[in-house]
Amino acid sequence: MEEAAGTSIMAMLQYGIEYEMVLTPSDFFIRQTGNLLFDIEKVEKYKHLVIEKMKEMLNGSSEQSMRCLEELNDRLVEVAVN
């Protein structure tokens, strides 16, 4: 079942990047999945996988990936406080 969840996340990510202009992991986990608002555990579980896949798909750099991780972690703190 875990593998299916990961496959589903990757399919949603690919669709979001190709058809809905998803450009950051935070954007993906908010607009595409809603997980940042409703399933923080899933964000924690898949954030590194999503960031690496986005780096690959968008020809990003390691520096961009680190900034995306920092931004996503900041958002996770924000939602945890609220």
Domain limits for position 63: 2-81
Confidence at 1, pLDDT banded by 50, 70, 90: low
Write out pLDDT tens, residues 7-66: 999 999 999 999 999 999 999 999 999 999 999 999 999 999 999 999 999 999 999 999
Q: Are 47 and 5 within 8 A, CB to CB?
A: no
Would you state the structure tokens that stand for residue 41, as one six-digit string?
């555990």
Q: What is the CATH number of the domain that holds 16?
A: 1.10.8.870
Amino acid, res. 13: L
- What is the torsion angle, in degrees rounded to the nearest 10, for the CA atoms of residue 31, residue 36, residue 37 and residue 41? 140
Would you state the structure tokens that stand for residue 79, as one six-digit string?
């939602």
Q: How many structural domains comprise the chain?
A: 1
